[in-house]
């Protein structure tokens, strides 16, 4: 009995070619704990600037009034939007220079971490601000939903590639500097 002639092309056959490695694998991902500490450092820097601004700008008075008036203690939408915009502007003023120069926030710079694109290059400041930071900042300021988003975003760091939602949106990753 003869074997049937080979099929000219089998669409279900696995490819024979070697699969290329993921681009930029030469850069080691940042240690998760170091990323957390870098975010905490950046947060402390922001608090040192924002708390006095919020005090002088009447935010705390509005927050206490919202708490006393009932209604779940939610701030008026206009006040929330105003302070979200001020907070993002302060972030840009504080972190814009190191992000532009090296792709690092001050906290990442202190801990020898940097943000790179998937090819290992430094993203532009516009990409970092408009894709990585602004969406997360905007969603994070939404009542109720913002807290859930920030939790999910933070927990995504436990994925095998250690990329959070903001990294996926921006096409970035955080790596150790050489």
pLDDT digits (tens, 9 = 90+) for 110-132: 999 999 999 999 999 999 999 99
d(CA 47, CA 63): 17
Tokens describing residue 123 = 């993203």
Give the distance, in angstroms, between the CA of residue 92 and the centroid of all CA atoms in the same chain. Answer: 14
Task: Pull the structure tokens for residue 39.
Answer: 């975010």
Question: What does the pLDDT average to over 62-76?
Answer: 76
What one-character DSSP code corresponds to residue 126?
Answer: H
pTM, two decimals, is 0.78
């Amino acid at each position: 009995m003869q074997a049937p002639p080979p099929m000219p092309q089998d669409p279900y056959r696995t490819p024979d070619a070697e699969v290329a490695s993921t681009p930029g694998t030469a850069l080691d991902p940042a240690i998760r704990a170091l990323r957390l500490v870098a975010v905490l450092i950046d947060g402390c820097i922001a608090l040192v600037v924002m708390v006095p601004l919020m005090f002088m700008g009447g935010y705390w008075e509005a927050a206490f009034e919202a708490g006393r008036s009932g209604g779940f203690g939610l701030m008026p939408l206009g006040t929330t939007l105003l302070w979200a915009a001020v907070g993002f502007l302060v972030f840009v003023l504080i972190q814009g220079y190191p992000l532009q120069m090296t792709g690092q926030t001050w906290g990442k710079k202190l801990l020898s971490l940097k943000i790179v694109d998937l090819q290992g290059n430094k993203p532009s400041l516009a990409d970092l601000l408009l894709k990585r930071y602004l969406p997360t900042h905007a969603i994070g300021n939404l009542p109720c939903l913002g807290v859930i988003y920030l939790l999910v975003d933070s927990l995504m760091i436990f994925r095998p590639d250690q990329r959070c939602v903001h990294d996926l949106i921006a096409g970035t990753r955080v790596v150790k500097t050489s």
